[in-house]
Homo-oligomer: A and B are copies of this chain.
Amino acid sequence: MKIAELDTPALIIDLDIFERNLQRVADYAKQHHLRLRPHTKTHKSPEVARRQLELGAAGLTVAKIGEAEVLMDKLPPTDMLVAFPVFGVRKLERLKGLAAKTPVTVALDSLAAARELEGVDASILIEIDVGLGRVGVTPAEALDLAREVRKIPGLRFRGITFYPGHIKDQNAEALTRLSEDMSRTVESFRKAGLSPELVSGGSTPTLFHSHEIDGLNEIRPGTYVFNDLNTIASGACVLADCAASVLVTVVSTPRANTAIVDGGSKTFSSDRLSGSTDVTFGRVVEVPGTRFHKMNEEHGFFDTAKSEREFHTGEKVRIIPNHVCVAVNLHETVYGVRGEDVERSWKVEGRGRLQ
């Protein structure tokens, strides 16, 4: 089948770019002796996870137990990181079920979250806030927490984790500071007799600088498999590295300078372009001067005043989304293409596993 024959909207992945993205990060990790534990939130698919493992990934990362369950239904046991505290009786039962199938590590940042896991066979990474201001505690608090974790039956302190999502690719100073902070943190743990087996960090934006961070021995990038406009904005990739786009059909050209396509916030998500005050929702590949400036749930609106050409109803164009992770989560099926040919498709099996 040709791309043009696909019903729209359809999420398509350029397999040449995708495979190059997978290989590049696998090579980078090997070159710098870093464990690669990709975050599967971007693709939510056992098929992609299998390829990551075949290329040398040391394990996988998930945001929720439901995603891990979907992966473990199809894949052999691997080193599985649940990068989120787990609360609640039923979830803990499911976590135990998961731990019976595969080695499980949980990331957390509070004693309450650690105590909740009592009796689960799990390794623990303690989350440190390195400046993003999201989850995570200070290094001193993390050390106290590590001591407490060791007393809880079933749990093993395995290391520390952090997410430097606030550092953009270009900021060498921030990276140096992070490296110095991390060096001090690891040293403080060593002195306390709690030498961390894993120092797990990295993000897609800082990905190719991970080897510059002292002590870091594991990376967990997610977005790198597909990339998107936000990844470009962060400096971590260029347009030619964007493997994912959404094929849409122009369904109406009701007025001058206006074209309307059959994809809106239920197709792309309404995530804005990061670091931009201008509100746009994607790049039209074939006609990049087009401004994709508005969405309803199922409509996307192009301002075509600066488009390189006119649009006509019924034609199909591709749009690279701002944020591919939330866009993939809205699609049932992904179509892998090479040139103009649809080579294969796979299901986003972990989609909507909310818990």
Report A's interface with B, CB cutoff 8 A: 5, 7-10, 41, 63-64, 84-85, 87-91, 109-110, 112-113, 116, 129, 133-137, 249, 251-255, 260, 262, 265-267, 269-272, 296-299, 301, 312-314, 325-326, 329-332, 351-355
Please state if B110 and A313 are interface contacts (CB–CB under 8 Å): yes
Question: For residue A253, which residues in chain B have a CB less than 8 angstroms away from its CB?
Answer: 110
Please state if A112 and B5 are interface contacts (CB–CB under 8 Å): no
A265 to B271, CA, bound (A): 8
Please state if A326 and B134 are interface contacts (CB–CB under 8 Å): no
Question: For residue A90, which residues in chain B have a CB less than 8 angstroms away from its CB?
Answer: 5, 7
- Which of B88, B137, B266 touches A8 (beta carbons < 8 Å)? B88
Please state if B109 and A254 are interface contacts (CB–CB under 8 Å): yes
Q: Which residue of B lies closest to A39 (CB)?
A: B297
Question: For residue A7, which residues in chain B have a CB less than 8 angstroms away from its CB?
Answer: 88, 90-91, 355
Please state if B85 and A251 are interface contacts (CB–CB under 8 Å): yes
A sample of 9 more A-B contacts (CB under 8 A), given A7-B88, A113-B252, A297-B329, is A5-B89, A109-B254, A112-B314, A129-B255, A267-B354, A270-B326, A297-B325, A331-B352, A332-B354
Please state if A270 and B267 are interface contacts (CB–CB under 8 Å): no
Most-contacted residue by chain B among A88, A255, A325 (CB, 10 A): A88
